[in-house]
Chain A
Amino acid sequence: MKPIKNKNSLSSYQIINLIFASIITGIFIYSAIYSHRKINHPIPSVFSQLTGSDSPSSGLSRSFSALTQGDVKSAKELNPYSIQIFLFFAFQLIFRIFTFFLMKKSFSWINTYIFADITLSILVFLLVFKPLIFFTFELFKNFIVN
């Protein structure tokens, strides 16, 4: 029995790309709407409110706002990891849009392309989010030990 290749596998991948492109665009629009000079971002830092301390993600929203307005210096001061995270999202946005349109034409190596996309995205995610991932596990480890 020879299974027929699912004709809709491409469109599933395209839909996922489109959804992520929309989500990332939403994040950038959200960042651009609010100013980094005013503390008026609607998403509060639950961590800071509960612990009274800052975390590696503190100031990330304001930092993203600064970056969308081209103020790299302020962004770096607000959160040192924001630039790498912002670049990751920017790269993902371009890649998702590019893939959404490109994949219509080159269909033959779609599986290899998807595999490369998943591998690359995971690796870059781990690299960019390393301080936040490290903080999460280290905090929990110390919490268990104490």
Chain B
Amino acid sequence: MEQVRSNSGQTLGIIALVLGILTLFIGFIPCIGFVAFVPGIIAIILSIIGLSKANKDNGAIGLNIGALIVSVLGVLVASLWLFFFVGVASMNEDEIEGFVEEVIEEVIEESVHNQDLQEALEELEQQLEEINIDSIANEVDSLEMKIKVEIETNKK
């Protein structure tokens, strides 16, 4: 006897999966991260309803399970932002600024972390320093020379 699978819960699963993926995307954008909480909660509710419908009417549950996992992850990330913003409300401006700047510096360091690149940058920095010193020395020499010439002409 063949088991017939219905489409029950499929549409809810699709909507929940799309909302769940969007939640995860938005969650990792610091500027609007906490907004992800709204689609995330909707996605969780839809996927749970879809899952129960699919179980009841012998529908495919994979889509709903995937949607549930993705939306729970998204909501967790959005919760971090909510936590952060609530906590930040009790801090003063200088504290927040110093704190955020520190993390941004770490991110920049992390994103340009490349041994070859670091060595090349250090070498370039040294070369630039040498060039600056040389040019200053040359300027001083030429000034001195000019003064000497003028003095000699006055004597004559």
Contact = CB atoms under 8 A, between A and B. Distances in A.
Interface stretch (A30-38, A50-58, A99-107): A50-58
B7 A8 contact: yes
Interface string A105-146: 000000000000000000000000111111111111011001
B97 A53 contact: yes
A146 B99 contact: yes
B101 A45 contact: no
A138 B3 CA distance: 50
Contacts of B77: 136
Contact of B104 (A2, A23, A52, A135): A135
Interface in B1-46: 1-5, 7, 10, 13-14, 17-18, 21-22, 27-35
A4 interface: yes
A15 B85 contact: no
Interface in B77-95: 77, 80-81, 83-85, 87-89, 93
A109 B69 CA distance: 25
Interface residues of B, number: 46
A12 B10 contact: yes
Contacts, number: 121
Interface stretch (B106-114, B127-135, B138-146): B106-114
Contact of A140 (B28, B80, B101): B80
Given A47-B33, A55-B31, A140-B83, A131 B3 contact: no
Nearest to A121: B21
Nearest to A49: B31
A133 B97 CA distance: 20
Given A52-B96, A55-B30, A135 B107 contact: yes
A55 B104 contact: yes
A93 interface: no
Q: Secondary structure at chain A's binding surface: helix, strand, loop or mixed?
A: helix
A136 B1 contact: no
Given A8-B10, A53-B104, A19 B31 contact: no
B100 A56 contact: no
B48 interface: no
Nearest to B79: A140
Contacts of A39: none
Given A16-B14, A20-B18, A131-B110, A136 B30 contact: yes
A70 interface: no
B60 interface: yes
Contacts of B35: 46
Contacts of A6: 5, 7, 60
Given A6-B5, A131-B107, A139-B100, A16 B29 contact: no
Given A131-B111, A143-B87, A138 B30 contact: no
CB-based closest 3 A-B pairs: A55-B30, A45-B31, A53-B100
